[in-house]
């Protein structure tokens, strides 16, 4: 089986890359070991974060670092036994947490983030998925005056510097927007720009079907069998190998295992996260995702019920799941919204693929002809999949890139 480009990984990032290359006339074979959008692109909060310019930086105040290290905040959980392995990554992540570096990341992220909805909209329309979209933004709520005041200051800065639209809301405005939330509230922030979907995996699968309807091949194979050949790249399959002059690694958190074998170094680490669905008591509903600003979880109405997604867990990719954060935030969530029984047998786990500067890696590996990366979309892979695919395809086909790709180059950590 021969094609122009092999795309490895059929999460939101890989499927979007395959569609963008196909739209620019390339024959593409998309490869995954599982059906499309069944890993991290399956269980996220479903937000297309048009406001997500400023990255989640490593905390700089010692009091916050100590609380996080001791696992006292429900927002984060650290596997202490993984620390020897994690320490070099966390150190680099911490170094990127200065105000200057956060600003540099935000500046670099902005062109991608501001095109995120427009690029999704093209695919949502073509895939017949516009019905699954809510354009109601999201709401961040605060119980304490201190928490709310801190958020207001950050929000004001983001608004001034990055042109992000937001609206401070009073307790009564929160109740008017979401009547089934339980106060008291110090206040909230309504982010009107983001879109959200009722099932991110269904959207990913619809994009993969669109790719196939347009003539693309989606085959099952193990990306670990990728080999460089005299004239390109080859992936083994029982039926027949797939060969192409170019390959895109879009394996999310699994990118590194393959890259290491190919001799490419990328400081990729994972921020794990969990979700659980809940039944709803009575006729309660949510018309937009709600973030508990103080406890770092999201509640969103999904097809399976109310999905609670947790903050971050610093651990090895392959360590057994430890969904302790769910237990910690569940009482806060129950006090906020009338959640009924858990609707899943066990917590789902996902893996946010992260680089220390919280920017993705999009581009060709220097000195490795035909080896391309589209990975490390951290907290924003659902948001940035389509726009990253567009940029990658423009670079791969020699078109004028819509933005300068330099901030996302693969070798920026060398």
169/310 with CB nearer ligand FAD: 310
Query: Which listed residue (12, 108, 299, 308) binds ligand FAD by CB under 6 A?
Result: 12
Instruction: Tell the smallest beta-carbon distance from residue 350 to ligand FAD (Å).
Output: 3
Query: Which listed residue (382, 386, 393, 408) binds ligand FAD by CB under 6 A?
Result: 382
Query: Which listed residue (224, 262, 324, 411) binds ligand FAD by CB under 6 A?
Result: 224
Contacts of 271 (CB under 8 A, 6+ apart): 312, 313, 314, 351, 352, 354, 378, 379
Cα angle for residues 330, 332, 333 (degrees, 5° grid): 60
Asked if 275 touches ligand FAD (CB under 6 A), the answer is: yes
113/336 with CB nearer ligand FAD: 113
Q: Which of residues 19-48 bind ligand FAD (CB under 6 A)?
A: 32-34, 38-41, 44-47
The CA distances from residue 377 to 88, 152, 252, 384, in Å, are 20, 27, 8, 7
Asked if 199 touches ligand FAD (CB under 6 A), the answer is: no
Asked if 309 touches ligand FAD (CB under 6 A), the answer is: yes
What is the pattern of x (binds ligand FAD, CB under 6 A) and - over residues 48-87?
A: -x--------------------------------------
Rounded-to-integer distance, Cα 85 and Cα 118, Å: 39
**Torsions phi, psi for 170 (to 5 deg):** -85, 170
Query: Which listed residue (30, 124, 246, 251) binds ligand FAD by CB under 6 A?
Result: 251
Q: What are the tokens at 22?
A: 């196909």
Query: How is residue 413 annotated by DSSP?
Result: G
Nearest to 409 by CA among 341, 347, 361: 361
Asked if 369 touches ligand FAD (CB under 6 A), the answer is: no
**C-alpha atoms less than 13 angstroms from C-alpha of 222 in its C-beta half-sphere:** 5
Tally Cβ neighbours within 10 Å of residue 34: 11
User: Which stretches of the chain bind ligand FAD, using CB under 6 A?
Assistant: 9-14, 32-34, 38-41, 44-47, 49, 222-224, 250-254, 273, 275, 309, 350, 352-353, 375, 377, 379-383
């Amino acid at each position: 089986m021969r094609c122009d480009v092999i795309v490895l990984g059929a999460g939101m990032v890989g499927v979007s890359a395959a569609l963008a290359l196909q739209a620019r006339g390339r024959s593409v074979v998309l490869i995954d070991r599982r059906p499309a959008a069944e890993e991290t692109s399956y269980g996220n909060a479903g937000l297309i974060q048009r406001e997500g310019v400023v990255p989640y930086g490593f905390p700089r105040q010692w009091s916050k670092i100590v609380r996080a290290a001791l696992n006292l905040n429900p927002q984060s959980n650290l596997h202490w036994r993984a620390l020897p392995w994690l320490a070099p990554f966390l150190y680099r992540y911490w170094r990127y947490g200065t105000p200057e570096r956060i600003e540099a990341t935000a500046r670099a992220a902005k062109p991608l983030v501001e095109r995120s909805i427009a690029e999704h909209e093209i695919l949502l329309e073509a895939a017949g998925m516009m019905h699954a979209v809510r354009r109601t933004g999201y709401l961040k709520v605060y119980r304490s005056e201190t928490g709310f005041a801190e958020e207001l200051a950050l929000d004001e800065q983001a608004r001034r510097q990055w042109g992000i639209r937001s609206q401070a809301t009073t307790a009564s405005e929160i109740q008017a927007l979401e009547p089934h939330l339980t106060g008291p509230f110090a206040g909230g922030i309504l982010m009107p720009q983001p879109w959200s979907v009722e099932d991110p995996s269904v959207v990913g699968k619809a994009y993969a079907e669109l790719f196939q309807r347009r003539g693309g091949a989606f085959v099952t194979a193990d990306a670990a069998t990728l080999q460089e050949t005299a004239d390109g790249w080859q992936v083994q399959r029982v039926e027949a190998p797939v060969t192409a002059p170019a390959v895109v690694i879009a394996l999310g958190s699994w990118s590194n295992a393959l890259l290491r074998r190919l001799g490419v170094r990328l400081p990729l680490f994972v921020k794990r996260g969990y979700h659980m669905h809940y039944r709803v008591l009575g006729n309660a509903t949510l018309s937009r995702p709600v973030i508990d600003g103080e406890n770092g979880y999201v509640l969103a109405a999904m097809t399976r019920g109310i999905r609670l997604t947790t903050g971050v867990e610093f651990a090895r990719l392959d360590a057994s799941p430890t969904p302790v954060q769910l237990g910690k935030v569940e009482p806060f969530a129950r006090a906020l919204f009338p959640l009924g029984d858990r609707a899943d047998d066990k917590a789902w786990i996902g893996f946010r693929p992260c680089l220390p500067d919280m920017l993705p890696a999009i581009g060709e590996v220097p000195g490795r002809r035909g080896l391309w990366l589209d990975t490390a979309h951290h907290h924003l892979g659902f948001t940035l999949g389509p726009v990253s695919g567009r940029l990658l395809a423009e670079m791969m086909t020699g078109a004028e890139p819509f933005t300068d790709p330099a901030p996302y180059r693969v070798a920026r950590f060398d």
